[in-house]
A = this chain, B = another copy of it.
Amino acid sequence: MSTTAPRPVTLKTVAQHVGLSPATVSLVLNESPVADSIPLETKERVIAAARELDYRPNYLARSLRSQRSFSVGVLVPEISEGYAAGVMGGIEEHLLQEGYFYLVGSHRFKSDLLDEYLQLLRDRLVEGYVLVNTPIERSPGLPAVAVSGRRSIEGVTNVVIDHDCAARLALQHLAELGHERIAFFKGHPGSLDTEDRWQAIERAAEALSITIRPELTLQLSSKLDELAFTPEDGYQEGYVYGQRLLATGEELTTLFAFNDVSAIGAMRAFLDAGLRIPEDVSVVGFDDIQSAAFQNPSLTTVRQPLREMGTIAARLLLDRLSGGTCPETVMVAPELVVRGSTGPSPAGQRARPKRRVAR
């Protein structure tokens, strides 16, 4: 019933109320084994009093004494970005279930900012870190789980998408549609997923006897820490690289982009150039961001189960904190979402800029 009133209900208050010592009350409320010898009747009295007074243990005091903060630090490049937000949703879901909270820092790929946050979070006594698409150099000194991490760092568990599976799904889909001249966007040099994904693509291409043509392979080149990190930049980049692809004059029947934003940007470039999707060019993205489904045409893409990855990361971290052991890597399965942007290869027909058709 107290709304704005001070809240002086401490252990001592409860103790006085039942005529026992604070120690006893603490033992009872925490169901300590030491309290085994306390008769049920007393325990119930204590519990009843606590409930009645609406006693809530002081988090700071408890944590100070027990040296546990029930908090973890989450590091992301930038909160207001789809990938990070998706993963955070999952992290939250699990953490809160277990009585933990998390503190977030966004480092924008600046390593000094990152170091500062690691320190600040540590000062806050977080018990561990979840690193979302966050490039760290060395062990952060606390248990950590990385989502979409790249290197294997001592003591850091990685939750990654199964890139081999992803590449296979996408390329197989394209192969079945008869595509042979496939263009690729490689990821940004600094992004953790870039290398793994690319190698997986090479392997899958090999297995499916698909030729990767260097002249159709473009690496998204913006320096990560120079981007403002709004997705607009990503779209813009995709648009520019889409144009660049067309400008090479090389024949292509499909594009497998590094992610959805660049795929969508490229689609736009293709459409502007008068190409039809998927009749002239098919496009496959990666991630399945929220607007992928409502592009026109809707985007075929490889979905990353972001939320699930977050949940898994949180679970792994908590397991580890409670003494459990952690695998070095946990893979999650991607899923191919086939929508309107992919279709049969225009057999033998060259995909080149034509006159603008509409708009």
Contact = CB atoms under 8 A, between A and B. Distances in A.
Interface string A242-273: 00000000000000000001001101100100
A124 interface: yes
A278 to B, nearest CB: 10
Interface in A92-136: 92, 96, 101-106, 120, 123-125
A69 interface: yes
Indicate how many identical chains form the complex: 2
A267 B294 CA distance: 9
A34 interface: no
Contacts of A61: 64
A86 interface: yes
Nearest to A73: B101
Contacts of A123: 56-57, 59
A290 B358 CA distance: 25
Given A79-B92, A80-B86, A81-B85, A125 B290 contact: no
Contact of A230 (B106, B290, B297, B359): B290
Given A290-B230, A359-B297, A139 B3 contact: yes
A271 B294 CA distance: 12
A79 B69 contact: no
Contacts of A104: 92, 101-102, 104
B294 A235 contact: yes
The 7 closest A-B pairs by CB, nearest first: A291-B291, A80-B89, A60-B64, A85-B85, A231-B290, A80-B85, A235-B294
Interface of A: 3-4, 56-61, 63-64, 69, 78-82, 85-86, 88-89, 92, 96, 101-106, 120, 123-125, 138-139, 141, 230-232, 235, 261, 264-265, 267-268, 271, 289-291, 293-297, 306-307, 358-359
